[in-house]
């Protein structure tokens, strides 16, 4: 800090994400960025609590329950303007689903807390009780017969819905209900808690006032105080502080309660405390790291602050602009941002930066090396084909795209993933939303990962990639034609057992077992063993690639109707 100016310098990932969040909140035009530092005037903190909530509400607006309520207004207008001509049974079912959601939201505790702060005479809880679903006729024909009765009830419901929407869409409605949403909608609570409005015992009902009092006013008082007699120093910025009462315990998944867990510090004597400036900056973490439902991501580019702003803005824009927001969009947005480079000289400027992921209520870290970037950039087409693929494992949907990206980040080969995919394809293909072409694409990506694992050295990259494409193509064709010969002999029922034995051989890298099963198969159909199988004997990685492509060819005809709709994505 110099005079009335405050200077922040990049450090560890969590502090960096918080600094980026602060800049996002106040705006780049109101700060001065030089390399890895940002400087701003203390006056920018005036009304900071308003800027804080306003940014979070605007950023996460379409993920909020508040938005789900008010965005239905356009449909109400459309139906009324057309005199309900297009209103059918499907529209009634959609309306009833919306009514159930509105009733659930409006009587929740967070909404009730917001009503006390909104200056309005409208009784929302009374409106919620008046709002009821409409009885649905059984079938479109019965709906047409009973349409007059249904439309009459719909019009009555629309009157109540308009009162609720107008209430929520008012200035105070958006201000307070939106604030409650970002607090409890897995945004702020993912980053920090236990203090200010996140403290269950707080006496202040207005979250804006609570935030200003606890963070902004404390910072203002600190800047005006005489620090010459302060004995301690801030753990983050090393500025003098009066005592050690303000610590990092409010940060979720990283801070700890120094009174309950004194063993976390040297000699059981806590010396970890932060100044009010750093404490306020840390509250900006949800504005820097992108949280979406139960996931989050941040790219810790810590050489130049402007680079960190740019790449994380692109990721945020991609994630929050997609119609389907969730886990899949997090990784897709990250890869999309990495691909968004205009020329080769800038393509790898993000090499050797840290990727921070929030998953399963914990933070996970990967180093984005140049090798990973090269693999991701070279595999753009194959990765795009995997976006909508998935399979069910123990009742949980596994997104194949995400599994591949995580393994690239961790420099792991993809054979274990391919094995799982083919295993579940054999077990219950109705719960597998992929086909053989997707397996082939993963095998091609896998071949590109080998150089970073110390495997095959790709001296002539283009020639080596082409060899892999030919190997996968020919091996899958061999499996496809062998399956055809078994079908012609009326022995297709034997294929699942054969595939299981081949997968077990590949999983244990047992070349002899694989060849025994394969030779027996070709002896049974009285055909010659294809050259693609024998040519890779003695080459472990290439043999596994060939083996899984071969098994994929054997299985592929067993695709269900559910998978036919995604076959085109694998081409």
pLDDT of residue 399: 87
Place of tokens 């995580």: 406
Among 100, 93, 99, CA closest to 137: 93
Q: What angle do CA 354, 419, 477 make, to 5 degrees?
A: 115
- For the chain, how big is the Rg over CA atoms in Å? 30
Quick one: pLDDT at residue 379? 84
pLDDT of 249: 85
- Per-residue HEC secondary structure of 183-243 comes to HHCCCHHHHECCCHHHCCCCCCCCHHHHHHHHHHHHHHHHHHCCCCCCCEECCCCCCEECC
Q: Other C-beta atoms within 10 Å of 489: how many?
A: 12
What pLDDT shows up at residue 343? 40
Helix (H, G, I), strand (E, B) or coil at 273: coil
Burial 177-204 (b: 16+ CB within 10 A, else e): bbbbbbbbbbbbebbbbebbbbeeeeee
Q: Residue 167 and residue 169: Cα distance in Å, rounded?
A: 6
Contact (CB, 8 A) for 350 and 391: no
pTM as predicted: 0.80
Is residue 295 helix, strand or coil? strand
Counting every residue, how long is the chain? 571
Locate 425 and state its tokens. Answer: 């394809």
Give burial (CB, 10 Å; 0-12/13-18/19+) of 39: middle
Residues whose CB is less than 8 angstroms from the CB of residue 186 and which lie 6 or more positions away in sequence, other chains included = 291, 293, 294
pLDDT in 10s for each residue of the chain, 571 residues: 344 689 999 999 999 999 999 999 999 999 999 999 999 999 999 999 999 999 999 999 988 999 999 999 999 999 999 888 888 899 999 999 999 999 999 999 999 999 999 988 899 999 999 999 999 888 888 888 888 899 999 999 999 999 999 999 999 999 999 999 999 877 898 899 889 999 989 999 999 999 999 999 999 999 988 888 888 889 889 899 988 888 888 888 876 666 656 555 555 566 788 899 999 999 999 999 988 877 888 989 888 899 899 889 988 888 877 655 444 456 777 777 666 543 444 444 556 778 888 887 888 888 877 777 778 878 888 888 888 889 988 888 888 988 898 888 888 889 999 999 999 988 888 888 888 889 989 988 888 887 655 544 544 455 565 676 788 888 888 998 999 999 888 888 898 899 999 999 998 888 999 999 999 999 998 888 888 888 888 787 788 889 999 999 888 754 433 344 433 443 3
Q: Minimal CA–CA distance to 536: which of 554, 511, 555?
A: 511
β-strand 390-393 against 396-399: which pairing, if any?
antiparallel
In 3D space, the residue among 216, 269, 255, 402 whose CA is nearest the CA of residue 327 turns out to be 402
Task: For residue 220, give Cα distances in angstroms to 195, 235, 249, 274, 464.
Answer: 18, 19, 22, 15, 62
């Amino acid at each position: 800090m110099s005079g009335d100016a405050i200077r922040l310098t990049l450090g560890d990932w969590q502090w960096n994400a918080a600094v980026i969040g602060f800049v996002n909140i106040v705006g780049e035009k109101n700060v001065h960025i030089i390399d890895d530092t940002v400087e701003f005037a203390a006056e920018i903190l005036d009304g900071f609590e308003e800027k804080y909530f306003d940014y979070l509400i605007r950023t996460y607006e379409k993920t909020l329950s508040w938005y789900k309520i008010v965005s239905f207004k356009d449909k109400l207008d459309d139906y009324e303007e057309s005199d309900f001509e297009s209103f059918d049974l499907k529209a009634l079912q959609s309306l009833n689903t919306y009514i159930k959601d509105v009733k659930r939201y409006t009587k929740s505790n967070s909404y009730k807390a917001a009503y006390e702060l909104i200056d309005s005479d409208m009784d929302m809880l009374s409106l919620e009780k008046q709002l009821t679903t409409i009885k649905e006729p059984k079938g479109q024909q019965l709906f047409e017969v009973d349409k007059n009765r249904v439309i009459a009830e719909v019009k009555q419901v629309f009157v109540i819905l308009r009162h609720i929407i107008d209430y929520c869409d008012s200035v105070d409605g958006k201000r307070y209900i939106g604030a409650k949403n970002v607090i409890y909608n897995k945004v702020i609570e993912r980053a920090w808690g236990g203090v200010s409005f996140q403290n269950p015992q707080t006496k202040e009902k207005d979250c804006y006032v609570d935030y200003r009092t606890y963070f902004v006013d404390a910072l203002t008082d600190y800047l005006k105080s005489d620090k010459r007699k302060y004995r301690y120093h801030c753990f983050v910025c090393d500025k003098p502080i009066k005592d050690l009462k303000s610590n990092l315990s409010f940060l979720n998944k990283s801070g700890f309660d120094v009174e309950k867990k004194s063993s976390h510090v040297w000699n059981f004597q806590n010396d970890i405390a932060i100044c009010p400036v750093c404490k306020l900056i840390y509250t900006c973490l949800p504005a820097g790291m992108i949280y979406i439902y139960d996931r989050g991501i941040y790219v810790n580019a810590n050489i130049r602050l402007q680079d960190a702003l740019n790449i994380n803005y692109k990721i945020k824009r991609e994630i929050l602009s997609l119609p389907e927001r969730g886990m899949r969009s997090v990784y897709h947005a990250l890869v999309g941002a990495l691909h968004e480079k205009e020329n080769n000289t800038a393509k790898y400027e993000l090499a050797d930066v840290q990727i921070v992921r929030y998953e399963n209520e914990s933070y996970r870290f990967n180093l984005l090396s140049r090798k990973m970037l090269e693999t991701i950039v070279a595999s753009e087409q194959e990765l795009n084909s995997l976006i909508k693929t998935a399979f069910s494992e123990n009742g949980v949907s596994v997104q194949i795209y995400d599994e591949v990206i995580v393994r690239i980040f961790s420099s792991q080969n993809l054979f274990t993933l391919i094995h799982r995919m083919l295993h579940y394809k054999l077990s219950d293909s109705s719960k597998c939303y992929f086909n053989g072409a997707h397996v082939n694409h993963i095998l091609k990506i896998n071949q590109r990962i080998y150089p970073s694992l110390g495997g095959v050295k790709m001296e002539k990259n283009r020639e080596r990639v082409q060899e892999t494409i030919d190997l996968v193509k020919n091996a899958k064709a061999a499996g496809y034609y062998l399956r055809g010969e078994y079908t012609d002999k009326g022995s297709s029922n034997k294929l699942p057992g054969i595939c299981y034995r081949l997968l077990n051989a590949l999983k244990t890298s047992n070349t002899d077992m694989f060849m025994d099963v394969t030779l027996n198969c070709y002896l049974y159909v009285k055909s010659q063993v294809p050259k693609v199988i024998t040519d890779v004997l003695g080459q472990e990685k290439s043999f596994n690639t060939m083996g899984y492509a071969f098994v994929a060819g054997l299985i592929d005809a067993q695709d269900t109707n559910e998978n036919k709709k995604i076959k085109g994505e694998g081409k």
